[in-house]
Amino acid sequence: MPRIGVFVCWCGSNIGGVLDCPAIAQEAASFPGVVFSTDYKYVCSDPGQKMIADAVIEHRLDRIVVASCSPRLHEETFRQTLKRAGLNPYFLEMANLREHCSWVHPHAQEAAQRKAIDLVRRAAAKAALLEPLFPNRIPVNKRCLVIGGGIAGIQAALDVADAGLEVVLVEREPTIGGNMAKLDKTFPTLDCSACISTPKMVAVAKHPKIKLYTYAEVEEVSGYIGNFKARIRQKARFVDHTKCTGCGTCWTRCPSSVPDEFNEGLGERAAIYIPFPQAVPNKPVIDAAHCRQFTKGKCGACAKLCPVGAIDYEQKDEVFEIEVGAVVVATGYGLFPWEKVYGEYGYGRYPDVITGMGFERLVNAAGPTGGKIQRPSDGKEPQTVVFIQCVGSRDEAKGKDYCSRVCCMYTAKHAHQVLEKIPDAKVYVFYIDIRTFGKGYEEFYRRVQDEGAVYIRGRVSKVFQEGSKLVVKGADTLLGEQVEIAADMVVLATGVVAAKGSHDLARMIGIPVDKDGFFQEAHPKLRPVETHTGGVFLAGTCQAPKDIPDTVAQASGAAAKVCALLFKDDLETNPMVSRVNNALCAGCLACQGVCPYRAIQPVTITERLPGQPPRERVVAQVNEGLCQGCGACTVACRAGAIDLKGFTNEQLLAEVDALCL
């Protein structure tokens, strides 16, 4: 019979203010197996933990129930307490009296008290059946996979590589650089985006510890912390980069022209191309969907012209597998597809209604207009420019209620750029609220107002074409009147959304996404770069909208986490994994079918029953390194031969029974 000790925590007044903790402890003393019970102000405090350790010795306790806060918070704390007290750390069961009782039922103290007693009874019933568990050790592969080559991925890769670890960086576009490479200037310092990001791009390409795969995609990630396997598809570029010198002959002479995605469709590129002049690698790829050699079966201009014979129309995708110990997901963001939902702004029918990112390209010296601000429709310099903020942000009607965090500032920057480049231009900004929380942001916003930008608080209800003008109708909610502006160009501050394909990626890696499609961090405050999957970390806007300094900071944070993990030689495994009782297993392997980690395999055993001749038969076997302890197999197993340590059938039934008294 186990000897259970029950420790009821007041958590100051958090629990003690609603529940009668001494009475709970007193009631707990009558539960089967409980030989000691007490209450204390803060059980998690040093004296509280010492009290447990002392009681273990004094009362020869071998199972501990702590009735306090959520086990998600302090389970590990108390496991360590048990360990220090000489007990197996898994001889702990917690009753959640705070989050699940006192905090939510302050209005019904009597019923809450009864509930608290039930919760402790449940914990004691489970505690009585706890078994000692022992972790295994698994080796750690000292290589890191970074998915996404934007500024977040670049920063994470460089930090990890600089620490001396190997990095594999995979980018799906032909170049690294991401969205930051498209930006003209960065707020509020107005330094040139390319000038500060391209050196980092080059550093990645040159770093001896970084293996860079561009135009490649991660197709599958399997395995577990310290021991992942990733399958990577290197898409066919049709250009042999080992031969190519990046001379540029091909793309200048290519007869095809295609809307240029890098320039947000505002310019054109060839079918064989580099996305922008400072691309890394600075070698082209062929866009087979638009190349005449592929679509029409004849052309071959680039192949004829290439001085080194690097063009290879026969090139195939290559698929290969790498092994890594950690994964950093840095897949960035997309922009809100406003054309589909904003009918009031013309569903994208008016060429002079452009997005903020389009404006970035328009104003960039390497952009389609060579840095001159010209309207796409007729190439004229706009005299009146209207900026509309919160397009796809903070707009529940369009399905996005969060703030994208960067639009206020980039719009201010755009306003500044118009006023700087076009003398006497008129600039109007429609906004809901202005959010300028960063260092130097508020000052920059004031400066733009001083420069002449007119800020109008209110939403725009309609934009329509009238002659060569765009009429912008809206409300000025501060003055309480309707506003109508005849503009030459309208710039929409489209919000930040989850990147294309991020949902599929999340499923492939096994990390959750939040309601908006961004990857879910393990804790919003305390574990912002970790995910719920051990060994997988987040960097940048794939987690939530953020500006460049925050992105870079998070990337470095993720890199620090990767280093902390990969500098270990081996890891302790979670001992709460499945186990098979061979005597009951019929070898049907229903469990194998439901295991998401491929942790179950058939194995042939020799069964020796008392008084029976030995017999060979197949049973299921759990790989404890792969098993993550979800327990799906335990329900698939009809015979109950497979059980989950720490959450056994017997324990769970005891919990049900204890709650149903």
The backbone region for 16, taken as left when phi is positive above 0, alpha when psi lies in -120 to 50, beta otherwise, is alpha
> What is the DSSP secondary-structure string of 505-520?
HHHHHT--B-TTSPBP
Question: Least CB distance from residue 660 to another protein, whole Å?
Answer: 3
Token pair of 596 as six digits: 């998401």
Name the E strands within 152-304.
166-170, 185-186, 191-192, 210-213, 216-224, 227-234, 258-259, 268-269, 272-273, 285-286
Using the rule CB under 8 A, give the single segment among 149-157, 167-175, 205-213, 626-634 that binds another protein: 626-634
Minimum Å gap between C-beta 70 and another protein is 5
User: Could you say whether residue 658 binds another protein (CB under 8 A)?
Assistant: yes
* Sign, CA torsion 364/365/366/372: positive
Q: Contact with another protein (CB under 8 A): which of 12, 17, 106, 277?
A: 106
* Tokens found for residue 501: 């394909």
Nearer to another protein, 277 or 524 (CB): 524
Nearest distance in Å: CB 555, another protein: 24
541: closest CA among 406, 379, 341, 349?
406
- The footprint of another protein on residues 292-351 (CB under 8 A) is none
The alpha carbons of the chain give a radius of gyration, in whole angstroms, of 31
588 binds another protein (CB under 8 A): yes
Closest CA to 225 of 623, 569, 536, 511: 536
Dist. CA 165–CA 187, nearest whole Å: 33
Indicate which single residue of 50, 60, 114, 137 sits in contact with another protein (rule: CB under 8 A).
Answer: 114
Q: Is 583 in the site for another protein (CB under 8 A)?
A: yes
Q: Residues 116-135: x/- map of binding to another protein (CB under 8 A)?
A: -xxx-xx------x------
Q: Which of 633, 89, 57 is nearest to 66 (CA)?
A: 89
Query: Which lies closer to another protein via its Cβ, residue 192 or residue 635?
Result: 635
- State which of residues 3, 44, 99, 163 lies at the interface with another protein (CB under 8 A): 99
Residues 416-445 close enough to bind another protein by CB under 8 A = none
If binding is defined by CB under 8 A, does position 650 make contact with another protein? yes
Question: Contacts with another protein in 523-582 (CB under 8 A)?
Answer: 532-533, 576, 579, 581
* Least Cβ distance, residue 652 to another protein (angstroms): 6
- Closest Cα to residue 100, out of 33, 41, 28, 14? 14
Alpha-carbon gap, residue 466 to 521, rounded angstroms: 48
Which range binds another protein by CB under 8 A, 48-56, 256-264, 481-489, 512-520? 512-520
Q: Rounded distance, CA 313 to CA 296, Å?
A: 13
Instruction: Tell me the window of 91-99, 294-302, 353-361, 372-380 that interacts with another protein (CB under 8 A).
Output: 91-99
Which x/- pattern, by CB under 8 A, does the window 26-65 give for another protein?
Answer: ----xxx---------------------------------
Residue-wise DSSP of 233-248? EE---SB-TTT-----
CA gap 658, 119 in Å, rounded: 9
Chosen residue from 379, 467, 610, 613 binding another protein by CB under 8 A: 610
What's the min distance (Å) between Cβ of 145 and another protein?
Answer: 18
Residues in region 490-509 near another protein by CB under 8 A: 503, 507
Least CB distance to another protein at residue 95 (A): 10
